[in-house]
Structure 1
Amino acid sequence: MKEFKETISFIQDYYKTKDFIPLHEPRFRGNEKKYVMDAVNSTFVSSVGAYVDKFEEMMESISRAKKAVAVVNGTSGLQVALRLAGVSSGDEVITQALTFVATANAIAYNNAHPVFLDVDLDTMGLSPDAVENFLEEYGEIRGGACFNKRTKKKIAACMPMHTFGFPVKIDELLEICKQWKIPVVEDAAESLGSYYKDQPTGSFGKLGVFSFNGNKIVTSGGGGAIVTNNIGLGEKAKYLTTTAKKPHTYEYVHDELGYNYRMPNLNAALACAQLENLNMFIEKKRELAGKYISFFENTNIKFRQEMKGTKTNYWLMAIQLENREERDLFLQTTNEAKVMTRPIWQLMYKLPMYQDCFKDDQKNAEFLEDRIVNISSSVQ
């Protein structure tokens, strides 16, 4: 199709190559080598070091949260955040089926059950209407907590995910969940630097979690961060993720089940250098988004843009095709031309380990699953 070939040419011209163009690759343009070598020379390359402390301070500033805790990856951060929010074995957690598998896995790691509700077409994130409809039909308040009338299980948390950096309608979700006594944990893995009504994503819920995987807007190679405005919860997060070891001059004393989820100082050094350039990366991503907006303006391909009242980091650029057939043809054509593109995720309830979980009609999620494709998103 002509439009597909023109899209390939546009991307090749932007990146000035006809060789393989990845979907998203990191850029190292600051103090990365300097900080990493400083960590090496200090001999503090594991879970203790100055860069871990600096990283947590930088994340507190960026997220406007009172406490940030460095962890080994975003998935482990979500697992611990859910536990801290009160999720226990057998509980239910409301989330979206249109997400990366880590969202659902983090729930399962707590031996809890995902409840998959629909997304909004405009945000591609958890729909407040879907949550409200579900709770009105199945929810009941007992003893200061919310329970599912059908399953008798506690609905212990709600975990929306800011898809590709596009903020969900988090204020509406918070209001609904407040009425139903359900804490909110934000899966902000993809939305570092995004804002909803002038407030950073990740800072709205009881806890928020970010990812610093190699494909994120800034990377530590592997890493994550839990953020919260509750100092006590933040300190507990630090305690649990560092093996729940009580301070002692020489004895090993662990008084509850903890996790070895510490971010190494080497990774934190890389993250600190990357975070220094976060605003630059976002500015360049928004410039690229502007070019895509202009290019796709007079085509049958819809470029997904930020909603009014939000500022997205445009982590992964997303387009919407006419239908599943066109989506598949676009994916085939671009990848054969060495321009890497990827479909949005398969819906979680279609995966074998989650096929028995509750889901609502998923009308919007299925519509998007058939049409959304990520295109080249690296900054120049």
Structure 2
Amino acid sequence: MQKIIDFIKQTFNTNEFIPLHEPRFIGNEKKYLNDCIDSTFVSSVGKYVDMFEKEFASYVGSKYAIATVNGTAALHISLILADVKRGDEIITQPLTFIATCNAISYCGAKPIFVDVDLDTLGLSPESLKNFLEKNCEIVDNKCINKTTKKTVKACVPMHAFGHPCKIDEIKEICDIWNIILVEDSAESLGSTYKNKHTGTFGQIGAFSFNGNKIITSGGGGVIVTNDEYLAKRAKHITTTAKVPHTFEYVHDEIAYNYRLPNINAALLVAQMENLDKFLKSKRELTEIYKDFFSKSKVKLVLEPENSKSNYWLQAVLLDNNKQRDEFLEITNKNGVMTRPIWKLMNELEMFKDCQKTDLKNAKYLEERIVNIPSSVR
């Protein structure tokens, strides 16, 4: 264990505390922030919001991008755009950050948990297919859960740590069952599957720019889509559903104050300018870790087949739960920040009664995965 600690400190060239993932501000962040402040347009209207949305859409290959105050808001609105209503059911994975299930819950919907694949850490097409064939039927062009009689409206896979799941297979299954695919791409900016950017396979995708993400504005999120109607509606309902007018305040439905402030967008425009540099650094770190752990019993999690991962968070796989806990305790005591993967969503009090498949892969990973320092060097 000490060899691993020493190696990580050597890799990051410090004997000080090493965080899991800290942001890097190495470009025009201060320049653009000062410009934004001088303009006085620091709220949800301003040139940096427009610039960022245009640049982001171009980068991932979508027609439209709508910036939001955070990634959870982006996912929440994405589900509303997918016409998710109270009482609907949403298929997702148990191995994810709480934001996925929170967004589902905000809509008054209920998650159904299917297993993940060991190689991608993401939602398993096989588990999805088996659940639907066993538990669902098509009635009036809707996917109906035969047990609950509820509509299964959408499927939300999440690309864990930036490793793409088998999203094309998931989409094919969703199309057969008339289920809307909404990609939780919060962690996967810069990741591609079969040369197509994550977040663009489904009708709607959502990204996050929280302080620990590969680029950040302290918070922030974005919705991407190729559908002009959905893009316009996303902008409308994230801007309190205010009807455009020179001076009158007319709002035509209950909506949300979810737009990204211009001052945060200024940070993101600067961060986007260095995104390719950050991704290159991430892959270089992967090669360093890969070489070291190839001589160790600890297994480094690598990008799945047909994928190019952003390697947002590096992850290692331990032999068992006991070894994982020892690894976490010793590294953190020695100034190397490490974290376990998330507790399975179906084990949380709020979701313990949700329908689920056999989750053996998710449980296996939960007991063994640890994230190690992953910052851009």
* TM interval, short-chain normalised: over 0.9
1:358 deviates by: 1.0
User: Which residue number in structure 2 is paired with residue 266 of structure 1?
Assistant: 263
Q: Deviations over 1:209-236 (max 9, x none)?
A: 0000000000011100000011110111
**1:220 partnered with 2:201:** no
Q: Deviations over 1:292-329 (max 9, x none)?
A: 00000021100000112110000000000000000000
User: Structure 1 stretches (4+) deviating beyond 3 angstroms?
Assistant: none
Secondary structure at the counterpart of residue 365 of structure 2: helix
Structure 2 counterpart of 1:254, one-letter code: H
> Quick one: distance in 2 between partners of 1:53 and 1:239?
15
User: Which residue number in structure 2 is paired with residue 101 of structure 1?
Assistant: 98
Match of 1:236 among 223, 233, 237: 233
TM-score (norm 1): 0.99
> Quick one: distance in 2 between partners of 1:260 and 1:168?
32
User: Which residue number in structure 1 is paired with residue 317 of structure 2?
Assistant: 320
CA RMSD of aligned residues (A): 0.6
Structure 2 counterpart of 1:128, one-letter code: P
User: Which residue number in structure 1 is paired with residue 84 of structure 2?
Assistant: 87
User: Which residue number in structure 2 is paired with residue 204 of structure 1?
Assistant: 201
User: Which residue number in structure 2 is paired with residue 308 of structure 1?
Assistant: 305
Secondary structure at the counterpart of residue 180 of structure 2: coil
Q: Deviations over 1:261-291 (max 9, x none)?
A: 0100000000010011111000000000010
Q: Deviations over 1:55-81 (max 9, x none)?
A: 100111111001100000000110110
> Quick one: distance in 1 between partners of 2:208 and 2:119?
23
**1:191 partnered with 2:205:** no
> Quick one: distance in 2 between partners of 1:68 and 1:92?
26
Structure 2 runs not aligned, ≥5 long: none
Structure 2 counterpart of 1:169, one-letter code: K
Structure 2 counterpart of 1:300, one-letter code: K
> Quick one: distance in 2 between partners of 1:157 and 1:63?
22
Structure 1 counterpart of 2:48, one-letter code: Y
- How many residue pairs get matched? 377
> Quick one: distance in 2 between partners of 1:91 and 1:98?
21
Give the percent of matched residue pairs that are identical in Structure 1 and Structure 2.
Answer: 59
Secondary structure at the counterpart of residue 92 of structure 2: strand
> Quick one: distance in 1 between partners of 2:17 and 2:64?
41
> Quick one: distance in 2 between partners of 1:58 and 1:221?
19
User: Which residue number in structure 1 is paired with residue 73 of structure 2?
Assistant: 76
Structure 1 runs not aligned, ≥5 long: none
1:40 deviates by: 0.3
TM-score (norm 2): 0.99
> Quick one: distance in 1 between partners of 2:95 and 2:118?
11
Match of 1:369 among 341, 366, 370: 366
User: Which residue number in structure 2 is paired with residue 64 of structure 1?
Assistant: 61
> Quick one: distance in 2 between partners of 1:6 and 1:265?
46
For 1:16-55, what aligned pairs fall within 5 Å after superposition? Answer: 16-55=13-52
Structure 1 counterpart of 2:216, one-letter code: T
Structure 2 counterpart of 1:93, one-letter code: I
Secondary structure at the counterpart of residue 296 of structure 2: coil
User: Which residue number in structure 1 is paired with residue 109 of structure 2?
Assistant: 112
User: Which residue number in structure 2 is paired with residue 283 of structure 1?
Assistant: 280
Structure 1 counterpart of 2:185, one-letter code: A
**1:143 partnered with 2:144:** no
